[in-house]
A and B are shown apart, each in its own frame.
Chain A
Amino acid sequence: MNFTRRHFAASLAAGAAALPVMARAQDGSPPRIVIGPGVIEPMPIAVPAFIDEGGAGELARNISRVVVSDLTGTGFFREIGPEAHIGRITSFDAGIGFEEWRAINAQVLITGAVSAAGDRVSVKFRAWDVVNGRQMDGAALQFAGTKAGWRRMAHKVADVVYSKITGEGGYFDSRVVFVAESGPKNARQKRLAVMDYDGANVQYLTDSSAIVLAPRFSPSGDRILYTSYETGFPRITLLNVGNLKRQTLAEQPGTMTFAPRFSPDGGSVVFSLERGGNTDIYLMNLGSGSTVQLTNSPSIETAPSFSPDGSQICFESDRTGGSQIYIMSTGGGEGRRISNGKGRYGTPVWSPRGDLIAFTKQAEGRFHIGVMRTDGSEERLLTASFLDEGPTWAPNGRVIMFTRETSGGGGQASLWSVDITGRNLRQIPTEGPASDPAWSPLLP
């Protein structure tokens, strides 16, 4: 889907600025949330239903509801619902009566309008700094797209507002590839599927005839790597998202290949290859097919993940007994151990911002998702349960999604997200049990 977007005149706020301003909060600084440790009081926002400027019907209201859902879903915003609104937005270009929004304690007001003609939908919006009685700089955009892509347009609106207020990149307009599960625990059926980050718009990419595991998006989102038993044996498989064509990236017979991840340029795949019971990490160039062995050790080396600049790879190894996390250069080698706490560490995933590594930790019979700096310092455990595993980063490096599985014969997997401070733990709604999420980059 293609969007056209353009900034439009931000001058309309001028009329509104003449309104009287409440003295208490007017220090002139724009609304701001700094994501970090400590308690963050959610910022109150008001989002009146977007105006239908022709042909939009329910779409106008639905888009504004998805904007609210995105923002409040972060835990950093809380909505002041329409039932509490005093002010009425009847036209997109009318002046804003800030006093009426201050009276209900909204700090940010988002107004928008939607029009539709045929399959084309156009969305425009403005975000207002209610406290200071003015439009927020840069928070006014217009998008056009297709009707089927209406949720994406809502996500783009929310991404702009979230970015303006937090100073972080957006992540709502993104997809997640995952494994949809069904059937009993000892005969689980698994299918590859993709969904919007919030669980909407599920599409299935494979049937359930073969076990599929641990997918990963390419850096541009056009391909997916995963492990499949389609040939009867575990093999890394490359799927073209556009035409759903699959390719097995076969190695030598008698080996098992798994745990594939793309390099940041999308041109190479780092993966595990098992031969004679021993698992090491290899790097394959997708263009030439040439393959280089990066680790050479009698222990298990797996779950590799590139640094965002492509210069280093973190991975897990059980060379000292229980698994620990190591970092090596992309050229290979022994690597240096970075995890140091009690317990076993696995599935390291480098943050897209480069600052943190997310991991699965197993200690005293519990599983945790955690983050640490790339030198192993400042380890923070974000979750705890019977079985949490397999973190994946939101494109902005501020939220992590992972698999949580319940115990016992009826145990089922589901997808959860948590932010990097450990707040806002929530389940992602999926039709059925689901596992192994991997976040796409922010969509173009």
Chain B
Amino acid sequence: MRIHCPYCGERPAEEFTFQGDADVRRPQGNEPSQMDEWFDYVYLRENPRGRMKEYWHHSGGCRSWLIVERDTDSHEVFGVTAARERKLSPQRKRAS
């Protein structure tokens, strides 16, 4: 697999470290009533077969945290953005 780092260009996957679901948002606030929200943020991760946004760290390169949109089945990469450039979308709702 190859990942197109926005800073370094297309590089082999071995240069990167995987960090899982990038569609989680760190909650704002530390009220006890927010515990469920925090629990979801810390522990709940989507694991779909198919398209997904994931954190990848260019640990063997420029050390940027990236958001890679990828098909977890075919491993096709659809797009890569630097985490620091991301436009935050609303927090995904907990599937109940």
Q: Is the A/B pair a real complex?
A: no
Chain A positions near chain B (C-beta within 8 angstroms): none
